Amino acid sequence: MRVFTYIGLAAAILMTASCKKYLSEEPKKQASIKTVDQLEALVDNATVFSREENYTATYATDDTEISRELYKNNVTAFTVNNLQRYVSSPEGIENLATDELWTGEYKKIFTANVILKNIDLVSGDEASRRRVKADAHFIRAMSYWILVNNYCAPYVAANMNSLGLPLKRSVDYEESLKRATLKETYDFILADIEEAKKVAEADVDPRKTWRVSQKAISAFMSRYYLFTGDYDKSLAESNNALASGTVSLVDYNSLLPGRSVSYSNPAATLRYSELNDWNAAKYLYWNELYYSRYQYTGAQWYIPSSALVALYDQTNDLRYKHLMIPNGGRRFSVVTPAAYRYTMFTDGSTLVSGPTRAEMLLNKAEVLARKGDVQNALSAVNTLRQKRMSTYSALTAANKDEAIKQVLAERRRELPFVMRWYDIRRFSVNDYAADNITVKRDFYQVSTTGVNLSTPKTYTLESKHLVVPINGVEIDASKGQLQQNPY
C-alpha cells in the first residue's frame, strides 16, 4: 500500500491517494483553490519539482562498475534493487516493490494538471496567471521527456508506432491508462512546449532557476532535437540558449576545498570540494543552470568505472580533482578494494541533470562535429575545457571522426551518470558505426531474491534492455489498461 501527500507552500491544497497505485489513484481535493498565488506556490516548491530518482541512469551504464571483488568483500554496501538495475535484468526490475522515477514524474505531471485545471478559474493578475500556466506546461513536458526516454523505445522512425506513455491530461482518476504511441507521446511534449513558449520572461531568473523562461525552453529543445536527430534545430536552440545574459560557466579553479574526512585502520583522508557540502539552499542556484533538475541517488555512491576514470587527465582536469574521490568507498566502510566515489552535491547524493551552459556547448560541439565542421566543434568544446582545467590544454582533431570522438569523450567527462543512459539509447539507433556501445558486466548471477556468489556471470546490455520495464505493481493496478514493454 502506498500513500502520498502533497502540501503546497500556500497551505491551501491537500491531495491524497489511497490504496490504488499511482496512475489509478483517485485524487481527493481537500481544500478549495481560490487564487493564482496558491498555484504559484506549488510551482515554487522547487525541491520537489527538481528531483529525479533515476536509478537506471545511475547504475545501468558503463559509467558504473561494481566489480566481483568489490561486491564479494562488501555485500552489505549494495541493495538487490540496485544490482537488478546494474545487470539490467528486465524481470528483476519489473518485480521491484516500487519505481521511484515513474511515480515521481507522474506526481509532477499530476500537479501540473491540477494547475492547468484551475489556472483560468482562480483570482489573480493576468501576468502571474500566464507565467504559472507556462510553468505547468513546461513541468509536464520535461517529465514526459524523462519518462519516454526510459520506458519507451528510442526515437527513430521505425519505432513511432511502438508503445509510448499514458498521457494524463487531467486529474480525473478514470482517465484512460492505455499507452499512446511513441509519436503521440512526442507530439504531446511538443504541444506542451508550444504553450510554455507563451511565457513572457526572456531569460533565466538566477533567483528562481526552477521557473520557465525562453532561454530555458531553448536549452531543453537543444537537448530534445539532439535526441530526435534534428541536428540543425538542435544547433539553433543551443546558440539561442548560449546567448543568455544570466547563465554562465563556473570556473572550477574558483571552487574551494570542502570538509575533509579522516579514517583510521588503515589511515585515510578523503578530501572533497565545497560542492560536497552544498544542500538545496545552494545547489538550486548553480550558475550554469537554465532550469533546475537534479538526479538523486539515495545510496549517495556513484561508483565510476575504470573506463570512466581513465578518460580524465588526472593532473589537470579539475572535474577529476574535485569530484572523483579516490578511496571514496571509505565513506561506506569499504576498505578493500579501494574504490572511487563520484560526488557533487549533498554528500554525493545529487548531480545536475537539468540543461546547463556546459551541455549547450557540448550539444553544439557534437552537432558541428557530426556535420564535419571540425574547427568550430572544437572551439565550442574547448570553451568548456578552459573552465575545467588547472592547466588548460585544447582538444584537437584532424578530421570529422576524430572530432566526434573527442567531443563525445568530453561529454562523458562532463555529464557522467546523468546523460550516459540517454546517450547510449540514442546512439543505438544512429547510423554512425562508431556510436555503437556494448556494456558488459562481469558479475555474479543476480535473481529477484539475491546474488549467487558461487556463480560468476557476464551480462551484456542488449538493445531490448534499453527500455525500462514498467513496475509490475503499476501494471496490476491498471487492471489491464497499462501494457508492459515487450522483452
Q: Give pLDDT, residue 328.
A: 98
Cell (9 digits) for 419: 546523460
* Each residue's pLDDT tens digit, 412-457: 999 999 999 999 999 999 999 999 999 999 999 999 889 999 999 9
Strands 341-342 vs 268-270: parallel, antiparallel or unpaired: unpaired
Task: Return the minimum-mean-pLDDT range out of 32-36, 49-53, 380-384.
Answer: 32-36
Q: Give pLDDT, residue 249.
A: 98
Q: What is the mean pLDDT of residues 140-169?
A: 98
Task: Return the residue matching grid coordinates 571514496.
Answer: 328
Q: Give pLDDT, residue 18.
A: 30
Task: Estimate to the nearest angstrom the gap between the alpha carbon of 155 and the chain centroid.
Answer: 17
State how far the Cα of 244 lies from the Cα of 267, in Å rounded to an integer.
47
Reported confidence tier of residue 141, pLDDT bands at 50, 70, 90: very high
Q: Give pLDDT, residue 23.
A: 57
Residue 7 has pLDDT above 90, yes or no: no
Q: Give pLDDT, residue 28.
A: 52
* Each residue's pLDDT tens digit, 378-394: 999 999 999 999 999 99
Q: Give pLDDT, residue 25.
A: 55
Q: Is the dihedral of CA 406, 428, 466, 234 positive or negative?
A: positive
For the chain, give the secondary structure using H, E and C: CCCCEEECCCCCCEEECCCCCHHHCCCEECCCCCEHHHHHHHHCCHHHHCEECCHHHHHCCCCECCCHHHHHHCHHHCCHHHHHHHCCCHHHHHCCCCCHHHHHHHHHHHHHHHHHHHCCCCECCHHHHHHHHHHHHHHHHHHHHHHHHHHCCCCCHHHCCCECCCCCCCCCCCCCCCCCEHHHHHHHHHHHHHHHCCCCCCCCCCCCCCCCCHHHHHHHHHHHHHHCCCHHHHHHHHHHHHCCCCCCCCCHHHCCECCCEEECCCCEEECCEHHHHCCHHHHCCCCCECCCCEEECCCCCECECHHHHHCCCCCCEHHHHHHEECCHHHHHCCCCCCCCEECCEHHHCEEECCCEHHHHHHHHHHHHHHCCCHHHHHHHHHHHHCCCECCCCCCCCCCHHHHHHHHHHHHHHHCCCCCHHHHHHHHCCCCCHHHCCCCEEEEEEECCCCEEEEEEEEEECCHHHHCCCCCHHHHHHCCCCCCCCCC
Residue 213 has pLDDT above 70, yes or no: yes
Residue 237 sits at φ, ψ, to 5 deg, of -70, -35
Residue 463 has pLDDT above 80, yes or no: no
State how far the Cα of 147 lies from the Cα of 155, in Å rounded to an integer.
13
State how far the Cα of 309 lies from the Cα of 324, in Å rounded to an integer.
8
* Each residue's pLDDT tens digit, 242-295: 999 999 999 999 999 999 999 999 999 999 999 999 999 999 999 999 999 999
Residue 404 has pLDDT above 50, yes or no: yes
- Mean pLDDT, the chain, rounded, equals 93
Residue 347 has pLDDT above 70, yes or no: yes
Residue % of the chain over a pLDDT of 90: 91
* Each residue's pLDDT tens digit, 275-286: 999 999 999 999
Q: Give pLDDT, residue 448.
A: 87
State how far the Cα of 480 lies from the Cα of 132, in Å rounded to an integer.
35
* Each residue's pLDDT tens digit, 298-313: 999 999 999 999 999 9
- Say if CB 334 and CB 198 are below 8 A apart: no
Half-sphere exposure of 304 (CA within 13 A, CB side): 26
Reported confidence tier of residue 321, pLDDT bands at 50, 70, 90: very high
Residue 12 has pLDDT above 50, yes or no: no
Q: Give pLDDT, residue 277.
A: 97
Residue 16 has pLDDT above 50, yes or no: no
